A and B are shown apart, each in its own frame.
Chain A
Amino acid sequence: MKDDCRIGFYICNCGTNIAKVVDAEQVCERIAGLPGVACARAYKYMCSNPGQEMITRDIRERGLNRVVVAACSPRMHEPTFRKALEAAGLNPYLLEMANIREQCSWVHDDPRAATAKACDLAHAAVRRVRYHQPLEKVEASYAPATLVLGGGIAGLTVAVELAEASQPVYLVEREGKLGGNVGRADLTAPYLDSARDILAEKIARAEASPKLDILLRSELVELRGFVGNFRATVRTTGGPTRDLAVGAVVVCTGYQEFDATRIERLGYGRFPDVITSFELERRLRMGRLETDDGRIPRYVSIVHCVGSRNPRYHPYCSRVCCMTALKYGHEIKSALPAAMVTDLYVDMLSFGKGGEDFYRRTSELKTMFLMYEKGDPPRVRAAEPGDDCGLLVQVNERLSGEVIDVPADLVVLMVGMEARADGGDVARTVGISQDRQGWFIESHPKLAPVSTATEGVYIAGCCQSPKDIPDSVAQARAAAAMVLAHVAQGKIEVDARFAEIDPDRCSGCRMCNELCPYTAITFDPDERRSSVQSALCKACGTCVAACPSGAITARHFTDKQIFEQIEGVLAWSSSRSS
């Protein structure tokens, strides 16, 4: 144990978020009594400016050389408090956080048990921080080129933005042409401008840009390296396989449509006049809105939420279908003024700019809106001989409790968005994760919506979650801005957390060489010793745990630090500790 430690302990009330369950004063009192703790304070918001200033002042005035903050998750504010340490001239790695909000006060009701747990976590942090070492960050260069996966509206936007900022871009598209799913649409809601126009402008700019390399019918097969220094292997069907040096990767792989045959009662595949929204778009684009046998439909029934908001298929909302369905109301009415349009919906989500106004205008076109219960989609059947329509759609109408038969000549299914079936392959190749529905996960849903857990890999558009064109474009431009911010710097700071091999203890068994997923460990045959290339190392610690000689140290996650933490969490609460 280190005797010269002067630890400052700070516990955050987080307003009432922590203090209403955890007795912060009691935690403070108990921690204050631990060896090496020079001061222990509670404050209402540690992350606020006065909170941070409290830390920097104490470091300067009381000569603190270690800091423990018991507050929210380190994933939230560790960078904030590290900056506070740096501001006072202390190495940022001399900080440790105890997570007593997300993993304590927010999930426990019993104040006594929660306070005991908070004490243990704080104790462990205090024990651990004593063994923290000042670490220095490592700098690496940042390659200016960017790899963009997917040539839909999001990918095109990223590529065009970057290329027009004079940065080299490789736009990899699996299909033979650019445009993605937007290219399959006719008009867009709510302003009814043409999807083709939106795309044509972007594609023209992409093709005109000398910095932009469009690789059609191509796929990323492998990605090695790390932020600023990726090596991407891209294979082109019937073409060369290329090895590209890129600084960042932006994933814009989009979505696939829900397979409507999965909901049998909708009759898709059984009745030729039951079509998907994409099939309707096609007919609208061709200007031929008719039934399968060439009649002009008098009744058009639009079923919302096909595959979406249904616990059996996808529980989430696909976000674009309501507005698209309202758009169909306009398009059908303008093509066939005599046709009656019925919308069968679950909840009308006409969010966003101009959305509500568009909904009102559509209802003024005498569109009939019937509400059905999610999980109970309408049932389509053939009309009876005397009917003036081809199909009947039976719906349990929720607002009235009536079972209603709606006449229809054409039934349009608003098929929802789902994560692409091959999303898992992409995720594995670039090293990002997927949520339960298969959408790629962002670093933080609000604060870091386009970054991912892998530095240098960004996501934009519908591969992250369903979204409309404005949102996809906004994300794409945000990702482009993130990339440009790094490119402008030309270099990157690599995290100081990496593994180190003590050459004196290394036996040269080479076990770690094979284990390292990043091939960051090289073996020197002359010295018969292994060593770690710090820039490549991601600090997973697998080699550390496996080294039979105990020669590898995970900086900031050393055995000693973790041992202290284990003892810390158990010292007060274990059944054998008292």
Chain B
Amino acid sequence: MAVRANPHLIEELEKYGAQDVVKCYHCGNCSATCPFSGGTYLFPRKSMRYLQMGLESRLRATLEPWLCYYCGECSDQCPREAEPGETMMSMRRWLTSRYDFTGISALFYRSWRAELIAIVVVALLTGIGLTIFGLTYGDLNVYDGEGAFLPAAAIHRFDWAMAIVLVILLGINCVRMWWFTVGGDRGVRVPLREYLKLAFLVPLHFFTQKRFRQCNEKRPWAVHLVLMFSYLTMLILIMFFLHYLQDGPAINWVAHGFGYAAALGLVGTAIYAVHGRIKKTETHYRHSHETDWIFLGLLALVSATGIIQHVLHRTGQPAAANVLYVAHMMGVVPMLVLEVPFSKWSHMAYRPLAMYLSALREKAVAVESAPADKRAAVAQTA
């Protein structure tokens, strides 16, 4: 069955940040230098070829971009400056938009203005909603306890409601990713047993990012791990232990210890990334898509407002703390509602899932070829 070529595919990918794809003449240096390339997955060269040939359906079914961590060596080695690393990055953006059933992702990646407007709108709605809520049920001068402007319990419920919506959105997208790459591929049949046996790969990769560490350059992995753990710590604190942080005046030092460490990690990595992207210190910082800046901007905004509102609260200025808290939520909500399912943050789900799915595909290949081997063995003995 022939595959239809889409001659416009490169143009499409360019909207997602691809550059100079056409320059590639398939020398293979990129694949030779990449520590992950080989065996079943021959990237970035193979993906570059799919792109040049306009094989949209093949590209949609590939997991390869998710197996790349953009250490940048391929781009450094490329004799034609075809930027394979950046192309893989743009393919991840494109794939994210394919997995997303709402179409919002495609809109955001292709138009930073749309994304910014959406963020502002959600931020304003959040701000207005929370202000009305606070003024109706509490007092601006009370930060915690009875009559608090934004009581921890209410925020907690709000957070959980938001989390459920997010999980549903991201879950649907993950199922689509599975369908595009494994489920819908007729040539691939994975037994249920393997699904269960390999399920541990998702949390394993999520928490350790061990594959990232295999890149020759270790620093990006370390930075990323600090960011990821800081973010995760903060998420757990907020989802389960919000009242320890918000309620006073007694200070729960365990929760606060974790909170401060996480805040430090987030601010530190944000500064590191912004500095890197401005100065272009590393290959993967050389090209910055608008979504990268929006992501970093939100991260910096949320971190800063979070820290300031906390300081104000603990230094006894509840009114100012409440205002900053609203501002903080105006950053948090768009970040979670828009960035996690539709933009850059979604990769926290897709990456570990891709490890799992690629392992499944390899198993499926093994299962398929087994009977043939058996036939060959029978033929030999006969």
Residues in A lying within 8 Å of B, measured CB to CB: 299, 340, 342, 360, 363-370, 394, 397, 399-400, 402-407
> What are 23 residue pairs bridging A and B, where the CB atoms are less than 8 Å apart in the complex?
A299-B7, A340-B8, A360-B23, A365-B22, A367-B22, A370-B53, A397-B53, A400-B46, A400-B49, A400-B53, A402-B55, A403-B2, A403-B3, A404-B2, A404-B3, A404-B4, A404-B53, A404-B55, A405-B2, A405-B3, A405-B5, A407-B5, A407-B7
Contacts of B54 in A (CB 8 A): 368
**In the complex, B206 has a CB within 8 A of chain A:** no
Contacts of B363 in A (CB 8 A): none
**In the complex, B113 has a CB within 8 A of chain A:** no
Q: On chain B, which size bracket covers the interface?
A: 20 to 34
Query: In the docked arrangement, what's the CA distance between A404 and B46, Å?
Result: 15
Say how far A304's CB is from chain B's closest CB, in angstroms: 16
Say how far A412's CB is from chain B's closest CB, in angstroms: 15
Contacts of B7 in A (CB 8 A): 299, 340, 342, 368, 406-407
Contacts of A360 in B (CB 8 A): 23, 80
Contacts of A299 in B (CB 8 A): 7
B3 near A368: Cβ-Cβ < 8 Å: no
Query: In the docked arrangement, what's the CA distance between A404 and B59, Å?
Result: 14
Contacts of A407 in B (CB 8 A): 4-5, 7
B5 near A342: Cβ-Cβ < 8 Å: yes
CB 8 Å contact bits of B107-130 with A (1 = contact, 0 = none): 000000000000000000000000
A399 near B2: Cβ-Cβ < 8 Å: no
Question: In the complex, which residue of chain B has the Cβ closest to the Cβ of A362?
Answer: B22
Query: In the docked arrangement, what's the CA distance between A406 and B80, Å?
Result: 26
**In the complex, B217 has a CB within 8 A of chain A:** no
Contacts of B343 in A (CB 8 A): none
**In the complex, B1 has a CB within 8 A of chain A:** yes
**In the complex, B224 has a CB within 8 A of chain A:** no
Query: In the docked arrangement, what's the CA distance between A340 and B46, Å?
Result: 22
CB 8 Å contact bits of B80-105 with A (1 = contact, 0 = none): 10000000000000000000000000
- The 7 tightest CB contacts between A and B, nearest first, are A340-B7, A405-B2, A403-B2, A405-B4, A363-B22, A406-B5, A404-B5
**Given A363-B22, A364-B22, A368-B54, A399 and B3 contact (CB-CB distance below 8 Å):** no
**In the complex, B157 has a CB within 8 A of chain A:** no
Contacts of A402 in B (CB 8 A): 3, 53, 55, 58
Question: In the complex, which residue of chain B has the Cβ closest to the Cβ of A341?
Answer: B7
Question: In the complex, which residue of chain A has the Cβ closest to the Cβ of B14?
Answer: A366
Contacts of B52 in A (CB 8 A): 368-369
**In the complex, B11 has a CB within 8 A of chain A:** yes
A366 near B2: Cβ-Cβ < 8 Å: no
**In the complex, B26 has a CB within 8 A of chain A:** yes
CB 8 Å contact bits of B49-83 with A (1 = contact, 0 = none): 11011110010000000000000000000001000
Residues in B lying within 8 Å of A, measured CB to CB: 1-5, 7-8, 10-11, 22-23, 25-26, 46, 49-50, 52-55, 58, 80
Say how far B179's CB is from chain A's closest CB, in angstroms: 21
Question: In the complex, which residue of chain A has the Cβ closest to the Cβ of B6?
Answer: A407
Chain A contact residues, majority secondary structure: strand
Say how far A367's CB is from chain B's closest CB, in angstroms: 8
Question: In the complex, which residue of chain A has the Cβ closest to the Cβ of B26?
Answer: A399
Which of A370, A403, A404 has its CB near the most chain B CB atoms (within 10 A)?
A404
Query: In the docked arrangement, what's the CA distance between A370 and B50, Å?
Result: 11
Say how far A342's CB is from chain B's closest CB, in angstroms: 6
Question: In the complex, which residue of chain B has the Cβ closest to the Cβ of A379?
Answer: B2
Contacts of B58 in A (CB 8 A): 402
Query: In the docked arrangement, what's the CA distance between A368 and B22, Å?
Result: 8
Task: Beyond the given A368-B5, A399-B26, please list 20 additional residue pairs across the A-B interface where CB-CB is below 8 A.
Answer: A299-B7, A340-B7, A340-B8, A342-B7, A360-B23, A363-B22, A363-B23, A363-B25, A364-B23, A365-B22, A366-B10, A368-B54, A370-B53, A394-B2, A400-B55, A403-B2, A404-B4, A405-B4, A406-B7, A407-B4
Query: In the docked arrangement, what's the CA distance between A394 and B4, Å?
Result: 9
Query: In the docked arrangement, what's the CA distance between A264 and B230, Å?
Result: 66
Say how far B360's CB is from chain A's closest CB, in angstroms: 23
Say how far B136's CB is from chain A's closest CB, in angstroms: 56
Say how far A399's CB is from chain B's closest CB, in angstroms: 6
Contacts of B26 in A (CB 8 A): 399
Question: In the complex, which residue of chain B has the Cβ closest to the Cβ of A364?
Answer: B22
Contacts of A340 in B (CB 8 A): 7-8
Which of A368, A369, A399 has its CB near the most chain B CB atoms (within 10 A)?
A368
B22 near A399: Cβ-Cβ < 8 Å: no
Question: In the complex, which residue of chain B has the Cβ closest to the Cβ of A298?
Answer: B7
Contacts of B3 in A (CB 8 A): 402-405
Say how far B382's CB is from chain A's closest CB, in angstroms: 31
Question: In the complex, which residue of chain B has the Cβ closest to the Cβ of A403?
Answer: B2
Contacts of A365 in B (CB 8 A): 22
Query: In the docked arrangement, what's the CA distance between A368 and B10, Å?
Result: 9
Contacts of B11 in A (CB 8 A): 366
Query: In the docked arrangement, what's the CA distance between A405 and B11, Å?
Result: 19
Which of B1, B23, B25 has its CB near the most chain A CB atoms (within 10 A)?
B25
Contacts of B2 in A (CB 8 A): 394, 403-405
Contacts of A399 in B (CB 8 A): 26, 49
Query: In the docked arrangement, what's the CA distance between A368 and B80, Å?
Result: 17
Contacts of A364 in B (CB 8 A): 22-23
Contacts of B25 in A (CB 8 A): 363
Question: In the complex, which residue of chain B has the Cβ closest to the Cβ of A389?
Answer: B7
Question: In the complex, which residue of chain B has the Cβ closest to the Cβ of A370?
Answer: B53
Question: In the complex, which residue of chain B has the Cβ closest to the Cβ of A394?
Answer: B2
Query: In the docked arrangement, what's the CA distance between A106 and B3, Å?
Result: 50
Query: In the docked arrangement, what's the CA distance between A364 and B25, Å?
Result: 11
Contacts of B46 in A (CB 8 A): 400
Query: In the docked arrangement, what's the CA distance between A299 and B23, Å?
Result: 21
